[in-house]
A and B are shown apart, each in its own frame.
Chain A
Amino acid sequence: MSWQGKEAYLREVLSQVKFSYDHEPIYQELTSHLEERVADYLSQGYEKEKAEEMALESFGNPVEIGKALNKEHRPLLGWLHFFSSTLAGIAMGVLILALLPLTLAILDSRSGDVPGEDILRRINVNEKVRIDNRIIYFDEVIVEKNGDLSILYNTLLTRDFGTSGYSFGNIGTILDETGQDYFFMSGQGSVGGILSRGRHTVHGFPEDAEKLIIEYDYYNRYYKVEIPLKEGGL
């Protein structure tokens, strides 16, 4: 058998393998083995043509090889492998798409922060509240030089990830210790997502207020967070 007969030889092998999805990898693998064997014969001093002929002959009967390969590449297992790999690939893609925003949110966890040059006072807060499927961590209150007061917080969805597009724009009513409430602006930061960072800014909050109170009372959910403003430091 000549090297020119390689294609016919491989076709003969592949004709015995019923699972056509595997024909290409089998073809590639057999070609690679044949070339290795040719190289082996060449290194033993055979002429190229003779080396190629011997390599093909050493492989044996193509029908028998094909039958043996067909046992290894059974259609049922082959299709199971094909479909399970496809499904696993899709699942992996969905997981990556779901986890990517979470990773970006962690990397971007300082978004919504106030520029350093605008900060008059930074008060550390360690308050955690939970409503339904969301945990809210209030971690900082920042008093700005222009008198604005910003409340910074992280929110974490614990379930219902399919609804993670819903933003949490209302942390509650902002009050001082006298019960006076204040209008706030929201939306800064990365609100929305499984993990998100938010910032609410209050204009005109009194400089001499002793407490900042965040009170949430909607749809029978309630929490109250009291933050002393006289503590903390620069």
Chain B
Amino acid sequence: MNRKRKILRNIIFIVIFISFALLSGMFYIDPVAAYRGSERSIHYGPSEVVHVEDFPGGKYFLGKYDRWISCNIMQKSMGIFWSAGSYVTGTEIRYDHPIYYEAQYGQPNARVYGIRHDESITKVQVHLMDGTVITQEEFHEDLFLLTWEHASEFNKIIAYDDAGRMVFQEERLHY
């Protein structure tokens, strides 16, 4: 086989491989496609993505699906590929407090996310064990997200209304 034929053969093989890899979800070059693939693989969603937030090396996807909310992370690898971070999940919203939230910490990309049930809530604060206070005043279709990169663990969450009154506070149970 001469060189031109070999090149043609190689190119055909590479094109078929790339098409198969992208169409079958072997690799993702789009973070949203990776996010959708991770949802399908836990048999969840498709969620409505209400907010995407970058962190070094990846993105948080804050989403809502029927009676569940989620905040899963997609990570970049080898410069072009995207894959889901650990612990992809959706959590069912509870209505017994003015806000419902989930805290995921003790790992990289720690976060607290949730939903407000009362639109008068305009601010959510997360206090970490090292004394750091993180404040969020942005809501995305009533969902909120607070993130931190350092190792400190979640201690408590406080929600305030537009008059600055505390309407909800919950402290982490310490064993």
Contact B26 A161 (CB under 8 A): yes
Q: Do B83 and A162 have beta carbons less than 8 Å apart?
A: yes
Given the known inter-chain contacts A160-B37, A161-B24, A163-B38, please indicate yes or no for A85 contacting B10, CB distance below 8 A.
yes
B38 pairs with A81, CB closer than 8 A: no
- Would you give the shortest CB distance from A184 to chain B, in whole angstroms? 18
Contacts of A88 in B (CB 8 A): 10, 13-14
User: Does B84 count as interface, using CB distance less than 8 angstroms?
Assistant: yes
Would you call B66 and A220 a contact (CB within 8 A)?
A: yes
Segment 1-34 of B: residues with Cβ below 8 Å from A: 3-4, 6-7, 10-11, 13-14, 17-18, 21, 23-28, 34
Give the distance in Å from the alpha carbon of A24 to the alpha carbon of B28 in the complex: 39
Stretch from B39-47, B50-58, B120-128 that touches the partner: B39-47
Inter-chain CA distance A81–B24, complex, in Å, is 28
Please report which residues of chain A, range 148-166, place their CB below 8 angstroms from some CB of chain B when the two chains form the complex: 157, 159-163, 166
A107 to chain B, nearest CB (A): 21
Q: In the complex, are the beta carbons of B40 and A132 less than 8 A apart?
A: yes
Contacts between chains A and B (CB distance < 8 A), count: 85
- A170: nearest chain-B partner, CB-CB: B43
User: A81-B7, A85-B10, A162-B27 in contact; A219/B44 too (CB < 8 A)?
Assistant: yes
Selected from B14, B24, B37, B45, the residue in CB contact (under 8 A) with A91 is B14
Chain B residue total in the interface (Cβ 8 A): 33
Contact status A78-B3, CB under 8 Å = yes
B4 (CB) vs chain A CBs: closest residue: A77
- Is the Cβ of B43 less than 8 Å from the Cβ of A218? yes
A162 with B37, Cβ < 8 A, contacts A84-B7, A219-B43 known:
yes
Q: Is A87 an interface residue (CB 8 A)?
A: yes
When the two chains form their complex, are residues B43 and A163 in contact, meaning their CB atoms are under 8 A apart?
no
Residues on the B chain within 8 Å of A98, using CB: 26
Q: A132: which of B26, B41, B88 is its contact (CB, 8 Å)? A: B41
Contact of B26 among A85, A92, A162 (CB under 8 A): A162
Whether A133 is near chain B, meaning CB under 8 Å from some CB there, is yes
Chain B, Cβ-Cβ closest to A216: B43
The distance in angstroms between the C-alpha atoms of A81 and B7, with both chains bound, is: 5
The interface residues of chain B lying within 8 Å CB-to-CB of A131 are 43
Give 1 or 0 for each of A122-164: 1 = CB within 8 Å of chain B CB.
Answer: 0000000001111000000000000000000000010111110
A85: which B residues are within 8 A, CB to CB?
6, 10
CA distance A98 to B26 in the complex (A): 9
Alpha-carbon distance between A199 and B75 when the two chains are bound, in angstroms:
32
Contacts of B66 in A (CB 8 A): 220
Question: How long is the Cα–Cα vector from A131 to B37 in the complex, in angstroms?
Answer: 13
Interface, chain B (partner A; CB < 8 A): 3-4, 6-7, 10-11, 13-14, 17-18, 21, 23-28, 34, 37-38, 40-45, 65-66, 68, 83-84, 88, 90
**19 residue pairs bridging A and B, Cβ less than 8 Å apart:** A72-B3, A77-B4, A81-B7, A87-B10, A88-B13, A91-B17, A95-B17, A98-B26, A159-B25, A159-B40, A160-B37, A160-B41, A162-B37, A163-B38, A166-B41, A166-B88, A219-B42, A219-B43, A219-B44
List residues of A whose CB falls within 8 A of some B CB.
72, 77-78, 80-81, 84-85, 87-88, 91-92, 94-95, 98, 131-134, 157, 159-163, 166, 218-221
Q: List 14 other contacts, CB 8 Å, given A162-B34, A219-B44.
A: A72-B3, A84-B7, A91-B14, A94-B17, A133-B37, A159-B25, A161-B24, A161-B25, A161-B26, A162-B27, A163-B25, A163-B41, A166-B38, A219-B45
